[in-house]
Structure 1
Amino acid sequence: MSAPHEVQAVWKVMAESPEPAQQDQRSDSTRPSEGRRARRDSASARLVMISAVLGALLVFTVAAALNWPSSDAPRSGVGEQRTSAAPPPPFEAAAGTCLNWTEPDASDLRKVNCSEPHLFEMTGKSEVWARFGPDAPFPSTEVFNEIKTKRCTDVARRYLDDRFDPNGRFEVSAFLPSRESWQNGDRTLHCALQQPGPAGKLYRFNDEVAELDQSDTYEVGTCLGISGTSLSSPVECSEQHSVEIVGVADLSEEFDGGFPATEDQDKYLITTCQERLKDYAGSKNAAEDKGLALYWDNLEKQSWQAGSRKVNCKVAAPQEEDDGFSPVTGSVAAEVSISDQPAPTTSPTPGVPATGTR
């Protein structure tokens, strides 16, 4: 999300570099298929999940036993030792499968109905044999992240019939081969969609992504926390925060044809967001009167083509020197105070399930 005026807020940093032109010999699987089983060496006991949000990389192991007969069946936790000599079951979660967990290390990972709150929606598989042959060393986390971003974005587009918004509220993630299964020849990425917040925590969502609005918006009245001068997880507006959401603007109310240029969006949004601020705080000049700046997001062409139409109108106290934020306490609808000192820096663990709604 970016603002062309007072603030340039970088919400997501995802490393991506071009893939080799050579095509994989194996095709990607992007739709649900009953009875299909991932090709696995029986020694593969675990997979690795990787997530990149705001430049931070997270890798943690999760139990691979996802083909249990019941979603309530017990499964091995990350730190448990297996006492049975039987080989572990292969990872199997077809596209369209929804997964949820509550533990920070995902040790209680389980399948759930997609109508229930969940953290992952599986989108399909991608093989990376063309890039990593049988003798290729186990890639670094950074390389895995690059692969995940490129390949799983492609898988998500196919899964959603070219209606995936790469700049929207959902991001790609993946279960990756463990070091052991990599050595045994496993080169499969199990791609998924997740809903992260600005600090990297994962927020649950209900229903399938195909049925949801992918516009990257927050509810009116939400205040995003602050870490140093950067965005963080939502907090109460009575606490120090970076941004307050004062409205939602639907560009489809003004533009019903092709993608509107950024300049045209701005002409519409400057008056629309002033009206939203007036509705929220009693005056279209409420932000300026209290030392804050009113700004908004713009939609990119990829987002428009995917069906996203909504953006947030926001107020904040931007710092001109580094594109960051000064801490604000209180709501623009009441009384606010702006600190001239940076907020304390926090280091939340990306990928940990968040409480509440995004």
Structure 2
Amino acid sequence: MPGRSGPLSAVRSKLDTDSPLSAPTLRWGLLAVAVGAVVAALITVLLSGFDSGRVEAHTPGGAQPTGAVAGAAFGTAKQGDCLSWSKGNASDLVKVECGSKHLFEVTADIDLSKYPGREFGPGSRFPDSLRFSELRDEHCVSAAQTYLGGKFDPRGKFVVGLINPGEAGWKAGERTLRCGLQVTGSAGTATHPIAGSVRSTNQSKVFDVGTCVGIARNLPTDPVECTQPHAFEIVSTVDLGARFPGGPPTKEDQDKVMEDQCAKDSTDYLGSPDALRNKTLTLFWDFLDTRSWLAGSQSLNCLIGKGADQEGFATITGSARGDLQIDGQAPVPPPNNGRYTPPPLPGAAPPVIPQPR
């Protein structure tokens, strides 16, 4: 019964009656949970200027004080420092212990005054968000790799960010930027707390069991209360590292483990082997590529949702553990007449049904 197309796998419940979900679209749909990593490249979040971006990275001996206008915490932040704020413009940015919740972990400081040419010289114009994004991509990605000992997972929960001194600080002559790691929302602007140093945190992009992930335009967004519209609900987290101690498993091998484990976990989560069928829901999971695996990301979520009539996910309200609605309607259990052949997922071969003799 498994259907596959690309890195996303799905297994339909035995009596699931709808399967309009395009597998390539579903792949993007699931990965859209991490879309902040892409969108953040185009958006500036003003702290005293907060953008998600290197020229010369200074780490030995700590950063020299800079950023009198941007603030002392920003101006003295060095590699390994953790920063947090509560205001939307981050004007209250402070250093905090990395063991406590924080929003940004500094991987390097960048001195743009060392940049060749006059682009960032005295009196130069404050760069736009695109230029800061270019600087982030040029310098902060490698800084993240160095900071994590070459084990940064580009598909994991953390994204590379950049804090700049803001326009006021820039006009005052401040040219030092801070590269770092953070967790962003689906729009790329909101940041989510990090508990503990990134260096000692599993980078797997997984959610806590029972989490519901919101929906917009049929694609997943960020965690929401399950009473709110959402795309899917997390059933369990599976540690594939314990199953494959010898090295990165193939997608096919991952699928075999995830199919069995997700089926078992969904039954345990919903309290009945028939609940998934009766609620007309589908099991889904992603896969781990070699880069993620070697970076230490070895966990995946089992999740339950439903395909939309056209593409992407249908909108669910309410937890699958209780009463829920799918696109505004209560699910209607399919007839249980002893035999049912579910429509295959796109790209999957029709199941072979033994014929009676």
TM over 0.5: yes
- Matched-pair contact (CA < 8 Å) for 2:33–2:221: no
* 1:64 counterpart = 2:93: no
Residue 121 of structure 1, CA deviation: 1.0
SS at match of 2:34: coil
Partner of 2:94: 110
Partner of 1:265: 254
Identity, in percent, stands at: 36
Residue 340 of structure 1, CA deviation: 6.0
| Greater length-normalized contact order (CA 8 Å, ≥ 6 residues apart) | 2
* 1:99 counterpart = 2:109: no
* 1:193 counterpart = 2:181: yes
SS at match of 1:191: strand
- For 1:295-353, what per-residue CA distance to the aligned partner results, in whole angstroms no more than 9, with x for missing partners? 0121122211111111111111222633x322112222223210169xxxxxxxxxxxx
Residue 275 of structure 1, CA deviation: 1.3
- For 1:208-227, what per-residue CA distance to the aligned partner results, in whole angstroms no more than 9, with x for missing partners? 11111111111000111223
- For 1:42-79, what per-residue CA distance to the aligned partner results, in whole angstroms no more than 9, with x for missing partners? xx655xxxxxxxxxxxxxxxx33227xxxxxxxxxxxx
SS at match of 1:210: helix
Q: 1:111 to 1:330 in 2, by over 3 A?
A: same
Distance 2:186 2:60 in 1: 30
Counterpart selection for 1:210 from 199, 202, 211: 199
1:256-335 equivalences in 2 (<5 Å): 256-284=245-273, 286-319=275-308, 321-322=310-311, 324-335=312-323
Counterpart selection for 1:12 from 26, 30, 34: 34
* 1:159 counterpart = 2:181: no
Q: 1:186 to 1:106 in 2, by over 3 A?
A: closer
- For 1:129-172, what per-residue CA distance to the aligned partner results, in whole angstroms no more than 9, with x for missing partners? 89873136654312322331342121111011112222111111
Q: TM-score, normalised by structure 2?
A: 0.71
Q: 1:103 to 1:228 in 2, by over 3 A?
A: same
1:16-95 equivalences in 2 (<5 Å): 27-29=56-58, 31=59, 33-34=61-62, 36-37=63-64, 46=69, 63-66=70-73, 91-95=75-79
Counterpart selection for 2:221 from 210, 216, 232: 232
Could you tell me which runs of 5 or more consecutive residues in structure 1 were left unpaired when the two chains were aligned.
18-23, 47-62, 68-90, 342-358
Residue 233 of structure 1, CA deviation: 3.0
Distance 2:118 2:174 in 1: 9
Amino acid at match of 2:57: D
Distance 2:96 2:151 in 1: 24
Specify the structure having the higher radius of gyration (Cα). 2
Distance 2:274 2:295 in 1: 34
Distance 2:116 2:81 in 1: 27
Amino acid at match of 1:305: L
Residue 271 of structure 1, CA deviation: 1.1
Distance 1:157 1:301 in 2: 16
SS at match of 2:268: helix
- For 1:148-204, what per-residue CA distance to the aligned partner results, in whole angstroms no more than 9, with x for missing partners? 134212111101111222211111111125456657876543111112243543221
Q: Judge which range, 297-306 or 139-148, deviates more.
A: 139-148
Residue 207 of structure 1, CA deviation: 1.7
- Matched-pair contact (CA < 8 Å) for 1:199–1:231: no
Residue 235 of structure 1, CA deviation: 2.2
Amino acid at match of 1:261: T
SS at match of 1:195: strand
Could you tell me which runs of 5 or more consecutive residues in structure 2 were left unpaired when the two chains were aligned.
1-5, 11-22, 43-53, 330-357
Q: TM-score, normalised by structure 1?
A: 0.71
Structure (1 or 2) with the greater helix fraction? 2
Distance 1:2 1:132 in 2: 43
Distance 1:237 1:333 in 2: 10
Q: 1:197 to 1:184 in 2, by over 3 A?
A: closer
Counterpart selection for 1:3 from 1, 8, 12: 8
The total of aligned residue pairs comes to: 288
Distance 1:285 1:251 in 2: 26
Distance 1:131 1:264 in 2: 48
Amino acid at match of 1:28: A
Q: 1:151 to 1:135 in 2, by over 3 A?
A: closer
Distance 1:3 1:326 in 2: 17
Amino acid at match of 1:317: K
Partner of 2:351: none
Residue 101 of structure 1, CA deviation: 1.0
